[in-house]
Structure formats: C-alpha cells, structure tokens
Amino acid sequence: MTSMKDISAVCGVSVATVSKALSDQSDIGEETKAYVKKTAREMGYLPNASAKALKTKRTFNLGVLFVDEAGSGLTHDYFAHVLDSFKRTAEAKGYDITFINGCRTRENRMSYLRHARYRGFDGVVIACIDFDDPEVTELVKSRLPLITIDRAFPGRLSVLSDNKKGMRDLLTFVRRKGHRKIAYIHGADSAVTESRVSSFYETARELGLEIPEFYVKEAAYRDTAAAYERTKELLALENPPTCILYPDDFACFGGMNAMRELGLRIPEDISVAGYDGMRVGRHMEPQLTTLRQDTRRIGTEAAGGLIRLIEQPEDRAVGQVVVPGEVFEGKTVGLIRG
C-alpha cells in the first residue's frame, strides 16, 4: 500500500509537505501542491480512514435506518430507488453509507442510537419504519445530525413526497376519464396513509363525487394477497366501482389478478390505478396508470440535506422539503362516456 513516505521520495519533498498538500493547506505553493496530488493519484494513494477521522473529527460514514413493515428490505421498489439515489449522492460527496442493524432477534443487540454511536456515523437517515418505535424516538431526539424520509418531526429536517397533491392529481385524472364510482384500497395506518386518505376525501368532495363508506378499504402496503381479497369484496358489491385505486403498484398486481380470475378485462370492464411508479408497470400490458414519485430527487435531497447538517452545523436547518410526483397515464384507466 502506498504511503506518504513513498510519495515524498518520488516527489523529492518532505513527508510533512506531502501531508500538507494532500490536506489542501495553504502554506505551501500551489504548484507543489498540484504535483504532490497528481503523484499521489498516479501511485494509487488512499488516506487511512482512521487517521482522517482523527484529523477531521468525522468518519465520512452515514447510517441508514431502513426497516419496512413487510420486511421486504431492498426489494421494496420505491425505497430501493430512493436509497440508491441517496447512496450515489453521498458517495459523490465523499461519504460511505452503512445500514443500521434492525434485527430484533439477535442477542445483545444494540439500540439504533447505540449502534449509530458505536459506528461513529456522522449522521443518519431514517426511511420507511415504525416511527413510533421508542428506539426511533430516542434516535430522533439525540444530538446526531439526522434527516427523515416521509415523516416530519419537530426540530428536524425531513424530505417528504407530496402525497396530498399526488392523490389529488391521481383522483382528478380518473374523474376526467368519466369515472364517478371510484373505490380506494389504502395502506395501513401511517403518516403517508393519513395524508393520502384525507386528500382522497377532500378531492372527492371538490369533484362532486360521493364515496360510499364501503368503497374505502385497507390492505397493508405491498400486500398482494390482501389487495386480492379487498378487490374481490368490492367487485362482489351490488353496485361495484368502475375504478379501484391501490396503495402502491405492487399491491395493485394482486387486485388485477382477482379481476382476471373473474373474467374482467382491464380497462374495458374495470379500471385500476396504482401509486409509486414502479418501472415494471411501464413494461406490462396494459401499462399501469400510477402516480410516479420522484425517487431520484427524494434521495438526492435527503443526502444533500444530511451532509449540509454535518458540514455546516451552524446552519441548523429544520423543516420540510416536499417533492411532487406526477401522474403516469398508462392504459389501465378506461374512458367512461356519458
């Protein structure tokens, strides 16, 4: 492994000069600094992480706390894309990311906060988790630089998908297609669900739609089996809906399976719309109508915001960054005339 001593021998300068050049200090000439840096790159020099941490008081490592209710991990399409964007942005700024252990069964496991401190994370991002968990509350109340995704906390910075506008835009699109009998299978109780459901009812009133109580049902996010069952219940009604909205695209597939089992064609006999904007939905036939969330921007904003909190602690930024999505029209919502 190349050392600063090796670089000093090639450059013909002292180890102290090499150290100053690599740490971008101003008391050496720019020409010497550029020459040392170029030589270091060509020799494949990598600074020792521990030494760098001692000098900067930072580890350049960010913790990621990500546990979803279904235990789907990084197969969770929406959050996989958000965290991929987060990772790319963080790495471009010189940071690594490490997942915080969320295993509840391991003996002598650390709390989330203890794990974060043990790893020496400069900051933490929290995504898709039970935000009412006491361990999460402990982490949020700590002094660690921290940002949350899809849940806001007082005194903390958060990045939120605009679920209120997203549901408004999606329902408005369906209504413009002529549908008046619109059912909604929403996700389990959470801040995201609350925002979408309230927007659904509010938008329905503004559009002059009457939504019977039995048109609104619950199924956990990404639960195709539950979506299948709720769909069959809706289609068994004496006055069934002409369009069903689902909590996410993945759950929507379960509903579509139920429709096809009943011999219904999509969208000729029944219309459907999902939420999230999974890429696979654009490659199926017919293309899935959905609200496409801007996962790239959500991840980028989260990484950028967290790094600013770390590098500019005097800024103490708090509040919410709200990221809008857009309706992907697809072909699963048919036109009703008259």
Residue 15 pLDDT: 87
| Range of weakest confidence among 12-26, 37-51, 154-168, 299-313 | 37-51
Please report, for the chain, how many H helices and E strands are present, in that order.
12, 12
Residue 235 pLDDT exceeds 90? yes
**Read out DSSP for 253-293?**
HHHHHHHHHTT--TTTT-EEE-SB--GGGGTSSSPPPEEE-
Residue 109 pLDDT: 74
Residue 116 pLDDT: 92
Residue 98 pLDDT: 93
Give the Cα separation of 53 and 310 in Å (integer): 14
Give the Cα separation of 150 and 83 in Å (integer): 13
Identify whether 267 is preceded by a cis peptide bond (ω within 30 of 0). yes
Give the Cα separation of 124 and 306 in Å (integer): 8
Give residues with Cβ within 8 angstroms of 60, minimum separation 6.
49, 52, 53, 94, 95, 96, 122
Architecture of domain 61-161+296-324: 3-Layer(aba) Sandwich (3.40)
Residue 149 pLDDT: 95
**For residue 50, which phi and psi values (nearest 5 degrees)?**
-65, -40
How many Cα atoms are found within 13 Å in the side-chain-facing hemisphere of 120?
12
Contact 310, 145 (CB under 8 A): yes
- pLDDT per residue as tens digits for the range 274-332: 999 988 878 788 999 999 999 999 999 999 999 999 998 877 778 999 999 999 999 99
**Read out DSSP for 63-89?**
EEEE--TT--GGG-HHHHHHHHHHHHH
Secondary structure, 3-state, 5-52:
HHHHHHHCCCHHHHHHHHCCCCCCCHHHHHHHHHHHHHCCCCCCHHHH
**What's the start-to-end Cα distance of the chain, in Å?**
76
Residue 46 pLDDT: 72
Q: How confident is the model at residue 250 (pLDDT cuts 50, 70, 90)?
A: very high
Q: Six-digit token pair at 20? A: 């100053």
Output 23 or 59, whichever has higher pLDDT. Answer: 59
Residue 337 pLDDT: 83
Q: What topology is assigned to 163-293 in CATH?
A: Rossmann fold (3.40.50)
Query: What percent of the chain is modeled with pLDDT above 70?
Result: 91
Residue 273 pLDDT: 98
Residue 254 pLDDT exceeds 70? yes
Question: pTM, whole model, 2 decimals?
Answer: 0.81
| Range of weakest confidence among 20-24, 162-166, 193-197 | 20-24
Q: For the residues 144-172, what does the mean pLDDT come to?
A: 95
Strands 123-127 and 326-328: unpaired
Q: Six-digit token pair at 74? A: 């990084």
- pLDDT per residue as tens digits for the range 36-91: 999 998 888 876 654 555 555 778 999 999 876 655 666 678 889 999 999 999 99
- pLDDT per residue as tens digits for the range 189-227: 889 999 999 999 999 999 999 999 999 999 999 999 999
Q: Which residue ranges does the chain devote to CATH 3.40.50.2300?
A: 61-161+296-324, 163-293
Residue 4 pLDDT exceeds 70? yes
Contact 208, 182 (CB under 8 A): no
Mean pLDDT, the chain, whole residue set: 90
Residue 74 pLDDT: 66
Give the Cα separation of 24 and 224 in Å (integer): 55
Q: For the residues 90-118, what does the mean pLDDT come to?
A: 81
- 39-64 core/surface letters (b: 16 or more CB in 10 A; e: else): bbeeeebeeeeeeeeeeeebbbbbbb
Residue 245 pLDDT: 98
Contact 58, 310 (CB under 8 A): yes
Give the Cα separation of 168 and 182 in Å (integer): 13
Give residues with Cβ within 8 angstroms of 77, minimum separation 6.
249, 250, 276, 278, 279, 280
Please report which residue ranges of 69-162 form alpha helices under DSSP H. 77-92, 112-119, 134-140
Residue 176 pLDDT exceeds 60? yes
